[in-house]
């Protein structure tokens, strides 16, 4: 029998080994590719080896680097879970400690309350649901609502209200927890949730006035366990307009502590093996205590800082496509959802930067936010940088020009935000928003509009002015309610935000 190619190769390799070093027979280029020198300069310092074997100091550096890297990955990839948990803690800080205690912005959102890119033009009811405690939960939804449900990792589950199965007529929803095997009674819109902790995000239309919109929610929204349907406890409401508290995710070791608390509550299959492995690599494992030593705490604290800083880099200088609204020009206007994709996944691939871009800067996910129908819904444009791609300086004055015939069916608004908290900028203006509904807002003779940003209002332009703070930066969002075709097809577009002085 003749030897085959594999056998001949093996015989050759043994001959080489027998004659001395395998490496001695390799070309220099191949040797350089597979061998490591005794000393290597890297971003984490000099690494030392004895013929490829790292010494103890090098091993310590490499493991520190690996643990820090994995901490950064956890911070970024679980930013949705961190943000939702921060909302839960924020709600609890003002007394919303149960599913049937609902925070509501009765006088609209004011800058004292830190919510990611919150809106001053909408009535909010933002509730954290706990199906671990309550089991199957009934939500009696009022008519005219616009809302959705997100799970503990801030993934979209279901729409509610106008864009949900009740079509805006209201009705009873039954929210079922993970693994539920009981009866599914008739007369409900059934929603099966993959996690125990969930966000219910509701908006009430104020087209007919704020007071009736508030009354509609407070008199008709009821939340109670299915087990208590025969004698439901009363739903309570907490007015958070003007309350000073935070729902913003932390950038220190506490981020990982909060994430561990969530993991311990949720079913193990709430996330996949890869994400669970990422958590396990830094010590977060369901059913086990999270007790990192001083070294690991230090590294995770560094990781949170690096993760937060990286999210800011992704925000201000995104490297992914589908973020800039007018990519054919040097425009600074961006969208929160890259490629209008609210799952951040396409062709079987998760867009990691797109997911971070949204969760670091915004609250709540529904496909409706990225689906534009002429004359209905809303669409947003964000400006993080000025016309020259520089950060906005609160000591300077800027102008945004909107050409005539702003293409909206309802109204438009410009709101200003704090770059640190990504929440409403806290100034002397109760509502840091101006727009077509603002009292006294001035229109130019040709039908165009100018909005001014600066520490002082230009003479005669007080009604068209948003206050900024010297020593602070800011960014802004242009919201189009009921955008029309010229906005959608980009034949009408806002000007860039220009430095005036």
In terms of domains, do 415 and 451 share one? yes
Question: Which pLDDT does position 372 carry in this prediction?
Answer: 82
> Over pLDDT 90: what percentage of the chain?
90
pLDDT at residue 428 greater than cutoff 70: yes
**How many other CB atoms are there within 10 angstroms of residue 71's CB atom?**
28
Q: Distance between CA 449 and CA 451 in Å, rounded?
A: 7
- Would residue 331 count as lying in a domain? no
- Would residue 72 count as lying in a domain? yes
Helix axes 273-281, 56-77, angle to 10 degrees: 130
Assign 30 a pLDDT band (cuts: 50, 70, 90).
confident
> Which class for 3: exposed (0-12), middle (13-18), buried (19 or more C-beta within 10 A)?
exposed
Contact 142, 216 (CB under 8 A): yes
Question: Which pLDDT does position 10 carry in this prediction?
Answer: 40
pLDDT at residue 331 greater than cutoff 70: yes
Nearest Cα to 154, choosing from 290, 344, 409? Answer: 344
In terms of domains, do 224 and 291 share one? no
Q: Per-residue pLDDT tens for 118-158?
A: 999 999 999 999 999 999 999 999 999 999 999 999 999 99
In terms of domains, do 471 and 495 share one? yes
In terms of domains, do 183 and 107 share one? yes
Nearest Cα to 396, choosing from 447, 472, 488? Answer: 472
Domain region containing 292: 53-93+250-316
- Report the C-alpha dihedral over residues 388, 391, 394, 397, rounded to 10 degrees: 10
pLDDT at residue 316 greater than cutoff 50: yes
Mean per-residue pLDDT for 103-119? 97
Question: Which pLDDT does position 277 carry in this prediction?
Answer: 97
Q: What is the pTM of this model?
A: 0.91
Give the domain-ending residue among 239, 259, 275: 239
CA angle 71, 473, 381 (to 5 degrees): 85
Q: Distance between CA 420 and CA 475 in Å, rounded?
A: 10
- Would residue 174 count as lying in a domain? yes
Question: Which pLDDT does position 23 carry in this prediction?
Answer: 53
In terms of domains, do 58 and 123 share one? no
Query: What CATH number is given to the structural domain containing 259?
Result: 1.10.3360.10
Give the number of domains in the chain: 3
Q: Distance between CA 226 and CA 391 in Å, rounded?
A: 51
Q: Per-residue pLDDT tens for 43-85?
A: 999 999 999 999 999 999 999 999 999 999 999 999 999 999 9
- Report the C-alpha dihedral over residues 127, 130, 131, 135, rounded to 10 degrees: -100
Contact 174, 185 (CB under 8 A): yes
- Would residue 277 count as lying in a domain? yes
Across the chain, mean pLDDT equals: 93
In terms of domains, do 194 and 145 share one? yes
Strand partners, 398: 453, 499
Assign 424 a pLDDT band (cuts: 50, 70, 90).
very high
Strand partners, 483: 408
Give the domain-ending residue among 208, 239, 270: 239
In terms of domains, do 202 and 121 share one? yes
Q: Per-residue pLDDT tens for 270-298?
A: 999 999 999 999 999 999 999 999 999 99
In terms of domains, do 291 and 165 share one? no
Q: Per-residue pLDDT tens for 368-398?
A: 888 888 988 889 999 999 999 999 999 999 9
Q: Distance between CA 359 and CA 352 in Å, rounded?
A: 11
Query: What CATH number is given to the structural domain containing 481?
Result: 2.60.120.600
Query: What CATH number is given to the structural domain containing 161?
Result: 2.60.40.1610
Nearest Cα to 142, choosing from 127, 124, 161? Answer: 161
> Which class for 327: exposed (0-12), middle (13-18), buried (19 or more C-beta within 10 A)?
exposed
In terms of domains, do 184 and 256 share one? no
| Strand 45-50 versus strand 398-402 pairing type | unpaired
Residues 6+ apart with CB under 8 A from 25: 16
pLDDT at residue 18 greater than cutoff 50: no
In terms of domains, do 132 and 256 share one? no
Contact 466, 451 (CB under 8 A): yes
Contact 304, 292 (CB under 8 A): no
- Would residue 412 count as lying in a domain? yes
Q: Distance between CA 158 and CA 178 in Å, rounded?
A: 15
- Would residue 485 count as lying in a domain? yes
Assign 452 a pLDDT band (cuts: 50, 70, 90).
very high
Q: DSSP of 186-223, one letter per residue?
A: SSSEEEE-SSSEEEEEEEE--TT-HHHHHHHHHHH-EE
The token pair that represents 121 in the structure block: 């033009």
Placement of tokens 């927890």 in the chain: 177
> Which class for 266: exposed (0-12), middle (13-18), buried (19 or more C-beta within 10 A)?
buried
In terms of domains, do 113 and 217 share one? yes
- Would residue 348 count as lying in a domain? no
Q: Distance between CA 473 and CA 292 in Å, rounded?
A: 36
Give the domain-ending residue among 185, 205, 239: 239
Assign 4 a pLDDT band (cuts: 50, 70, 90).
low
In terms of domains, do 175 and 220 share one? yes
Q: Per-residue pLDDT tens for 213-271?
A: 999 999 999 999 999 999 999 999 999 999 999 999 999 999 999 999 999 999 999 99
- Would residue 60 count as lying in a domain? yes
Alpha carbons within 13 A on the beta-carbon side of 181: 1
Question: Which pLDDT does position 371 carry in this prediction?
Answer: 82
Q: Per-residue pLDDT tens for 166-183?
A: 999 999 999 999 999 999
Phi first, then psi, for residue 161 (nearest 5°) are: 75, -135
Mean per-residue pLDDT for 6-23? 43
Contact 329, 49 (CB under 8 A): no
């Amino acid at each position: 029998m003749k030897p085959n190619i594999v056998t001949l190769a093996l015989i050759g390799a043994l001959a080489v080994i027998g004659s001395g070093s395998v490496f001695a027979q390799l070309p220099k280029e191949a040797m350089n590719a597979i061998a490591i020198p005794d000393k290597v300069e890297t971003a984490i310092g000099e690494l030392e080896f004895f013929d490829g074997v790292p010494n103890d100091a090098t091993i310590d550096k490499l493991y520190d680097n690996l643990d820090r890297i994995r901490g950064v990955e956890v911070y970024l990839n679980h930013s949705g879970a961190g943000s939702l948990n921060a909302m839960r803690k924020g709600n609890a800080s003002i007394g919303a400690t149960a599913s049937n205690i609902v925070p509501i912005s009765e006088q609209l959102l004011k800058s004292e309350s830190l919510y990611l890119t919150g809106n001053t033009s909408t009535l909010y009811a933002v509730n954290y649901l706990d199906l671990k405690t309550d089991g199957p939960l009934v939500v009696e939804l009022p008519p005219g609502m616009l809302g959705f449900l997100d799970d503990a990792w801030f993934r979209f589950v279901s729409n509610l209200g106008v864009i949900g199965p009740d079509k805006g007529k209201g009705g009873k929803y039954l929210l079922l927890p993970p693994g539920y095997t009981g009866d599914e009674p008739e007369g409900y819109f059934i929603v099966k949730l993959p996690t125990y902790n969930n966000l219910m995000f509701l908006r009430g239309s104020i087209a007919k006035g704020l007071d009736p919109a508030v009354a509609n929610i407070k008199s008709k929204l009821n939340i109670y366990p299915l087990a208590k349907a025969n004698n439901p406890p009363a739903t309570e409401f907490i007015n958070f307009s003007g309350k000073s508290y935070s729902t913003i995710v932390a950038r220190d070791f506490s981020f990982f502590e909060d994430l561990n608390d969530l993991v311990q509550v949720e079913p193990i299959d709430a996330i996949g093996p890869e994400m669970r492995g990422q958590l396990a690599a830094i010590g977060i494992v369901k059913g086990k205590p999270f007790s990192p030593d001083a070294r690991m705490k230090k590294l995770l604290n560094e990781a949170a800082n690096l993760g937060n800083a990286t999210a800011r880099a992704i925000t201000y200088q995104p490297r992914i496509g589908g973020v800039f609204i007018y990519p054919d020009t040097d425009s600074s206007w961006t969208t929160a959802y890259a490629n209008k994709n609210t799952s951040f996944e396409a062709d079987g691939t998760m867009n990691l930067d797109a997911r971070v871009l949204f969760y670091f800067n915004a609250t709540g996910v529904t496909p409706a936010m990225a689906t534009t129908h002429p004359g209905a819904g809303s669409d947003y444009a964000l400006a993080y940088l000025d016309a020259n791609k520089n950060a906005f300086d609160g000591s300077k004055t800027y102008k945004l020009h909107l050409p005539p015939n702003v293409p909206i069916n309802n109204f438009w608004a410009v709101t200003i935000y704090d770059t640190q908290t990504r929440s409403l900028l806290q100034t002397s203006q109760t509502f840091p928003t101006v727009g077509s509904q603002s009292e006294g807002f001035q229109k130019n003779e040709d039908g165009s509009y100018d909005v001014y940003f600066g520490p002082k209002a230009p003479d005669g332009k007080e009604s068209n002015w948003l206050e900024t703070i010297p020593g602070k930066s800011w960014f802004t969002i242009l919201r189009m309610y009921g955008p029309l075709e010229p906005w959608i097809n980009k034949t009408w577009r806002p000007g860039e935000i220009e430095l005036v002085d």
